[in-house]
Chains A and B, each alone.
Chain A
Amino acid sequence: MSTRLANGGRLLNKGRALDFTFNGKRFKGVEGDTLASALLANDQMMVGRSFKYHRPRGIVASGGEEPNALVGLGEDAKFEPNQRVTTTELFDGLTCTSQNHWPSLEFDIGAVNSKLARFLPAGFYYKTFMFPRPFWKHIYEPFIRQSAGLGKAPRDRDQDSYEHFYAFFDVVVIGGGVAGLQAAKAAGQAGAKVLLMEQTPHWGGRAPVDGGTIDGQPVDNFVDQIVSDLETMENVTLRTRMMGSGVYDHGYVLGYERVSDHQPGAKSPRHRLWRIRAGQIVTATGAIERPISFAGNDVPGVMLASAVRDYAVNYGVSVGDRTVVVTNNDDAYRTAITLKKLGLDVPVIVDARAGGGGALAGEAAALGIRVENGKGIARVKGGKRVEGVEICTQAGEGAALELIKCDAVAMSGGWSPVVHLWSHCGGKLLWDDENAMFRPDGDKAPTGADGKRFVIPAGSADGYLDLATVLENADVAGKAAAEATGYVPGKAEAPVATPETAAPIEAVWMMPQGASIKLRMKAWLDYQNDVKVSDVQLAAREGYESVEHAKRYTTLGMATDQGKLSNINGLAILSDSLSQPIPQTGTTTFRPPYTPISLASIAGEARNETFQPLRKTPMHAWHEENGAYWEPVGAWRRPYCYQKPGETIEEALHREITQTRDSLGMLDASTLGKIIVKGPDAGKFMDMLYTNMMSTLKPGRCRYGLMCNENGFLMDDGVVARLDEDTFLCHTTTGGAENIHGHMEEWLQTEWWDWKVYTANVTEQYAQIGVVGLKSRKVLEKLTDDDIGGDALSFMGWKEITLTGGIPARVFRISFAGELSFELAVPASRGRELWDKLIEAGAEFNVTPYGTEAMHIMRAEKGFIMIGDETDGTVIPQDLGMQWAISKKKEDYLGKRAQERSHMTDPTRWKLVGLETLDGSTLPDGAYATADGTNANGQRNVQGRVTSTYHSPTLGRGIAMGLVLNGPDRMGDVLDFPKVDGTVIKAKIVEPIFYDKDGEKQNV
């Protein structure tokens, strides 16, 4: 059984016990435990079920590479599926449940898949489930989805908070093992601004577990010393519980800090995402031990040798009483030696190498441990827990030589440098045959904005596994990083570790070498996704030869561990099947994040009200207090209408329009874009921007203008006022202001840069209020002594006036509703004051603020077009009968050449007309007018469509505008508009103006 030892546990505070539950069972751990070590200390060897076959799964690793031990952590709003127990720090009151089984972990119906495994090889689903056809959606797929999926979906809204940090460093060192510490120190001593991050709560990595001495001291002492050195350096920032998640272009690094996962309830955010710009990145990310593929290597109790050692040394946990060690390299001997020294039984070390190990092997033998060289494991005995192993000759086919009873197996297939972060941004790898590993190719590093390398691997991440060379290499890396960012490295030399002499690793990808198909079908590569040696071999036989094909066909490496334990073994098996060297097979692509990061941390603080920045006009609060039903328009929110208590939206619209037309309405038009165009060449520039002639506009006058893009399509419209000889004020649509300003600047700066024109977007400098209706002049006259009579301020004129309280204003005599109306532009800071005054002064006229929808309806009643309704990015002014707004005199304007193209001058383009339903009903939005027959693709022919449609309260009937084939020539024709339910509404083509056809009302 696995249990807590009396001694050991360098990371524990045994004085503080912690309570936790697993599947409802109450367990005890101690401070410093991970959930993994605490579960093992309680003999909870089996912790989950695999994805496909629902095989029993136990903890196999001790870090972020863990593929098996995933639990549902917490409850309700704190519930998190697929949480790795190896990276979860134990806290008091932790609750967790195992995953992917029904009804229980111990007895799982899904385990029948395991019995059927032979019938469910890699990719079997591509060959089956095809008949009968409807069964896929209704039977097969729901079944597959339900049996896959691992953890349960959270249900409640997350109550925790998350935040983003921005940071800039010369050197970012990722990994706080001895290599990272030394690299950070070397860079820091040179004067560089350094960030050192470590994903676990502890400094030193695995070196303190592995032993040895540095500068004559135990590794733990070295780590304590160097950390305290670094803490005193002001230019060095240290962070634990922070993972280097991804390396992106131009030195962008994501750091994922798990601020309070280990202390839920703390007032701090749960996660913090660091968005870092680094001059240089040192990846001191260590290496990961590989499993070995032998039959039954997935039985709970089979673990990585290094993990067995970690649990013993760091957490004082013995995984088993009798642990068989199986290896192809010297490192695993450390585990045997460690266990033996703790008084545990190691019945045998099975070493696949015929020549056996080096110095460590000697040490093991000296401790009396039996060592079997040239041997392998034929199969592991046991189901939910290891019961023993059969050993065999590695060179053979798996005939059992001996059954050895044991309750744990510690395996080591060698080490793979963690090259993920090196590779994220294009760093290349080379295959090191001697050490049987892919390591960073120093000549093909990721390059940054300046074309120079910006990632430097260090220590075992660079392929150096021996402590002495790790430190040397890390020191060089740290100095190089500092130098590359403009600092002069110090003279201090790297610390010196006692070198060791190890016998070389022997690449062993399968055990035994000639394993039969029956064994290979039980030899796991990917534990979580249930991919076995036989599956990869099947993929190769069926022609899925590229490493990407094999991965995707078998799902190797696609589980939540992203193949940290399985990829190299898998591609070695694939290479072997294809009889090609491993580098020719290559690796799959390493993609961020290194281990999964919470979506919440990516979203950061953006949620609910703070989801996106909100732009508010000066009158926003008034709208809110007065029943505004909001409509998002760009980043603004505009009142769609104002609902009085008990009023429906339709009733509100009716009231707003009727009262505006009958008496007085008010519109907050502050969101309209306002762009100043100024300079000696402003007129010339305006003539290019607008289809109209703008240069002839007189100061004091306004003109409605159309703007096209160079492709000829209408992009914006609005009223232009000439402020003085040199200055125009362009009004744009609410959504268009920023784009139009950018568009103007692009032309000025990239094409007509010799023109003397300056533009400024002053949208937010002004509050703008439309005062609309019969009584609009009357109410304004109450607020100003200036003359705003019809002679002093005629239609399409503007002037500067002063309003009560000394509010300076520009008043524009323009109309979008077809009534007498004035638009007042005042400094934004005075906007609310003016709004309130107008409300007060207008009370006697029953002043009625109206929203965007009433505005739309009133303009439609007048037949005015709306950008985004009548236009959709494919419409040109000519389609809208707006030739009057296109100057014939100008040689050029943006879009003019485009409008000469054959399709633009095609007489069969649909043209704008008004539409009146025969029955007075309102046409549905976006309805099409059908024509006879169908086209070559069998689609119903059409001859027009509705662009705007409303119920007009003024007319008491539906009105619409639309684009229709030959429309203007077909007045009185009746068209069929089918609704989506198939019924047809008939509508007559009319002039696109429904109200006050002679335009008298705006001149009252």
Chain B
Amino acid sequence: MLILTCPCCGVTAEETEFHGGGEAHIKRFGPGSSDEDFHGYLFEKVNPKGVHFERWRHANGCGKWFHAARCTVTLEVFGTYSAQTTEPPQDIKDKISAKRPGWSWREFA
């Protein structure tokens, strides 16, 4: 039973207020993209044992989507942040690096 803090309205609430939306920071591929790229975009979601960046919606609250950095093994939440970004903010990355030495995400290590 997770607790998350919605960065949009500031409310810290029960998991039941939220709706998970899967992997965050996905680049959309539309018409004109290759089959590989489109397939990668739509289906090849990362499924890490460890740090995961994911979308959540404060569905039974302010209704806004946001992102969370969460460990799928310990369920630790490193932080939540605005969905209006293409990668996790530096302070979140720093926090994860401090707690999970050697951790990496895409090009960031």
A/B touching: CB–CB < 8 A: yes
List A residues at the B interface (Cβ < 8 Å): 248-252, 277, 426, 447-451, 710-711, 741-742, 745-746, 749-751, 753, 891-892, 896-898, 900-901
Q: Complex: how many Å from CA A519 to CA B87?
A: 67
Which residues of A are found within 8 Å of B32, using beta-carbon distances? 897
Would B55 and A746 count as touching, CB distance under 8 A?
A: yes
Instruction: Say yes or no: is B48 at the interface (Cβ < 8 Å to chain A).
Output: no
Would A277 and B57 count as touching, CB distance under 8 A?
A: no
Q: Which of A249, A447, A891, A898 has the most CB of B within 10 A?
A: A249
Partner of A250, one of B19, B57, B71, B75: B75
Chain B 22-80 interface residues, beta-carbon cutoff 8 Å to A = 24, 28-33, 35, 38, 42, 55, 57, 59, 63-65, 71, 74-78
Instruction: Say yes or no: is B99 at the interface (Cβ < 8 Å to chain A).
Output: yes
Instruction: Say yes or no: is B109 at the interface (Cβ < 8 Å to chain A).
Output: no
Which residues of B are found within 8 Å of A426, using beta-carbon distances? 74
Assuming A250-B75, A252-B1, A451-B78, what are 15 further A-B pairs, CB within 8 angstroms?
A277-B3, A447-B76, A449-B2, A451-B99, A710-B42, A742-B19, A742-B57, A745-B63, A745-B64, A745-B65, A749-B64, A891-B31, A892-B31, A896-B31, A897-B32
Q: Which of A250, A450, A891, A896 has the most CB of B within 10 A?
A: A250
Which residues of B are found within 8 Å of A249, using beta-carbon distances? 1-2, 75
Q: How far is the CB of B27 from chain A (nearest CB, A)?
A: 10
Would A745 and B31 count as touching, CB distance under 8 A?
A: no
Would A447 and B74 count as touching, CB distance under 8 A?
A: yes
Nearest neighbor of B65 in chain A, beta-carbon distance? A749
Would B76 and A451 count as touching, CB distance under 8 A?
A: yes
Q: How far is the CB of B109 from chain A (nearest CB, A)?
A: 20
Instruction: Say yes or no: is B84 at the interface (Cβ < 8 Å to chain A).
Output: yes
Would A250 and B65 count as touching, CB distance under 8 A?
A: no
Nearest neighbor of B43 in chain A, beta-carbon distance? A711
Nearest neighbor of A899 in chain B, beta-carbon distance? B31
Q: Complex: how many Å from CA A896 to CA B28?
A: 12
Instruction: Say yes or no: is B6 at the interface (Cβ < 8 Å to chain A).
Output: no
Would B42 and A742 count as touching, CB distance under 8 A?
A: no
Q: Complex: how many Å from CA A901 to CA B2?
A: 38
Nearest neighbor of B100 in chain A, beta-carbon distance? A451
Nearest neighbor of A741 in chain B, beta-carbon distance? B63
The 0/1 profile, CB within 8 Å of A marked 1, for residues 1-14 of chain B is: 11100000000001
Nearest neighbor of A760 in chain B, beta-carbon distance? B63
Would A901 and B77 count as touching, CB distance under 8 A?
A: no
Which residues of A are found within 8 Å of B1, using beta-carbon distances? 248-250, 252
Which residues of B are found within 8 Å of A447, using beta-carbon distances? 74, 76
Would B55 and A750 count as touching, CB distance under 8 A?
A: yes
Which residues of B are found within 8 Å of A711, using beta-carbon distances? 42
Instruction: Say yes or no: is B21 at the interface (Cβ < 8 Å to chain A).
Output: yes
- Given A750-B65, A897-B38: A451 in contact with B74 (beta carbons within 8 A): yes
Q: Complex: how many Å from CA A250 to CA B2?
A: 6
Partner of B30, one of A448, A896, A901: A896
Q: Complex: how many Å from CA A900 to CA B31?
A: 8
Q: How far is the CB of A756 from chain B (nearest CB, A)?
A: 13
Would A449 and B63 count as touching, CB distance under 8 A?
A: no
Q: Complex: how many Å from CA A426 to CA B75?
A: 11
Q: How far is the CB of B19 from chain A (nearest CB, A)?
A: 7
Q: Complex: how many Å from CA A252 to CA B2?
A: 8
Q: Complex: how many Å from CA A34 to CA B17?
A: 42
Q: Complex: how many Å from CA A924 to CA B84?
A: 50
Q: How far is the CB of A105 from chain B (nearest CB, A)?
A: 43
Would A449 and B55 count as touching, CB distance under 8 A?
A: no
Would A449 and B35 count as touching, CB distance under 8 A?
A: no
Nearest neighbor of A712 in chain B, beta-carbon distance? B42
Which residues of A are found within 8 Å of B42, using beta-carbon distances? 710-711, 898
In the assembled complex, 5 residue pairs joining A and B whose CB atoms fall closer than 8 Å, in A order, are A450-B76, A450-B77, A749-B83, A750-B24, A750-B84
Q: Complex: how many Å from CA A897 to CA B37?
A: 11
Nearest neighbor of B64 in chain A, beta-carbon distance? A749
Nearest neighbor of A452 in chain B, beta-carbon distance? B76
Q: How far is the CB of B89 from chain A (nearest CB, A)?
A: 15
Would A751 and B28 count as touching, CB distance under 8 A?
A: yes
List B residues at the A interface (Cβ < 8 Å): 1-3, 14, 19, 21, 24, 28-33, 35, 38, 42, 55, 57, 59, 63-65, 71, 74-78, 83-84, 99
Q: How far is the CB of B107 from chain A (nearest CB, A)?
A: 20
Would B76 and A449 count as touching, CB distance under 8 A?
A: yes
Classify the secondary structure of B's interface with A: loop
Which residues of B are found within 8 Å of A751, using beta-carbon distances? 28
Q: How far is the CB of B88 from chain A (nearest CB, A)?
A: 14
Q: How far is the CB of B81 from chain A (nearest CB, A)?
A: 12
Q: Complex: how many Å from CA A426 to CA B35?
A: 42
Q: Complex: how many Å from CA A891 to CA B32?
A: 9
Would B83 and A750 count as touching, CB distance under 8 A?
A: yes
Q: Complex: how many Å from CA A892 to CA B31?
A: 6
Which residues of A are found within 8 Å of B2, using beta-carbon distances? 249-250, 449
Q: Complex: how many Å from CA A450 to CA B3?
A: 10
Q: How far is the CB of B23 from chain A (nearest CB, A)?
A: 11
Q: How far is the CB of B58 from chain A (nearest CB, A)?
A: 10
- Given A751-B28, A753-B84: A449 in contact with B77 (beta carbons within 8 A): yes
Q: How far is the CB of A961 from chain B (nearest CB, A)?
A: 30
Q: How far is the CB of A634 from chain B (nearest CB, A)?
A: 15
Q: Which of A277, A449, A710, A892 has the most CB of B within 10 A?
A: A449
Nearest neighbor of B76 in chain A, beta-carbon distance? A451
Q: Which 6 pairs of residues, A with B, have the shortest CB-CB distance? A: A252-B1, A451-B76, A749-B65, A753-B84, A750-B83, A250-B3
Would A746 and B30 count as touching, CB distance under 8 A?
A: no
Q: Complex: how many Å from CA A746 to CA B55?
A: 9
Q: Complex: how many Å from CA A277 to CA B55?
A: 24
Nearest neighbor of B29 in chain A, beta-carbon distance? A897
Which residues of A are found within 8 Å of B63, using beta-carbon distances? 741, 745
Nearest neighbor of A166 in chain B, beta-carbon distance? B14
Q: Complex: how many Å from CA A750 to CA B59?
A: 15
Would B65 and A746 count as touching, CB distance under 8 A?
A: yes
Q: Which of B29, B33, B57 has the most CB of A within 10 A?
A: B57
Nearest neighbor of A900 in chain B, beta-carbon distance? B31
Which residues of A are found within 8 Å of B57, using beta-carbon distances? 742, 745-746
Would A449 and B3 count as touching, CB distance under 8 A?
A: yes
Which residues of B are found within 8 Å of A741, using beta-carbon distances? 63
Which residues of A are found within 8 Å of B38, using beta-carbon distances? 897-898, 901
Would A897 and B64 count as touching, CB distance under 8 A?
A: no
Q: How far is the CB of B32 from chain A (nearest CB, A)?
A: 8
Q: Complex: how many Å from CA A251 to CA B29?
A: 40
Q: Complex: how many Å from CA A750 to CA B21?
A: 11
Which residues of B are found within 8 Å of A742, using beta-carbon distances? 19, 57, 59
Which residues of B are found within 8 Å of A251, using beta-carbon distances? 3
Q: Complex: how many Å from CA A710 to CA B27?
A: 13
Q: How far is the CB of B5 from chain A (nearest CB, A)?
A: 9
Q: Complex: how many Å from CA A426 to CA B64?
A: 32
Nearest neighbor of B67 in chain A, beta-carbon distance? A750
Would B3 and A901 count as touching, CB distance under 8 A?
A: no
Would A746 and B21 count as touching, CB distance under 8 A?
A: yes
Q: Complex: how many Å from CA A753 to CA B31?
A: 20
Nearest neighbor of A890 in chain B, beta-carbon distance? B31
Which residues of A are found within 8 Å of B75, using beta-carbon distances? 249-250, 449
Which residues of A are found within 8 Å of B28, using beta-carbon distances? 751
Q: How far is the CB of B95 from chain A (nearest CB, A)?
A: 10
Q: Complex: how many Å from CA A897 to CA B32?
A: 7
Q: How far is the CB of A421 from chain B (nearest CB, A)?
A: 15
Which residues of B are found within 8 Å of A250, using beta-carbon distances? 1-3, 75
Q: How far is the CB of A712 from chain B (nearest CB, A)?
A: 10
Q: How far is the CB of A984 from chain B (nearest CB, A)?
A: 40
Q: Complex: how many Å from CA A751 to CA B27?
A: 9
Q: How far is the CB of B75 from chain A (nearest CB, A)?
A: 5
Q: How far is the CB of A4 from chain B (nearest CB, A)?
A: 46
Q: Complex: how many Å from CA A447 to CA B77?
A: 11
Nearest neighbor of A753 in chain B, beta-carbon distance? B84
Q: Complex: how many Å from CA A277 to CA B1?
A: 10
Would B83 and A901 count as touching, CB distance under 8 A?
A: no
Would A897 and B76 count as touching, CB distance under 8 A?
A: no
Q: How far is the CB of A619 from chain B (nearest CB, A)?
A: 26
Would B35 and A892 count as touching, CB distance under 8 A?
A: no
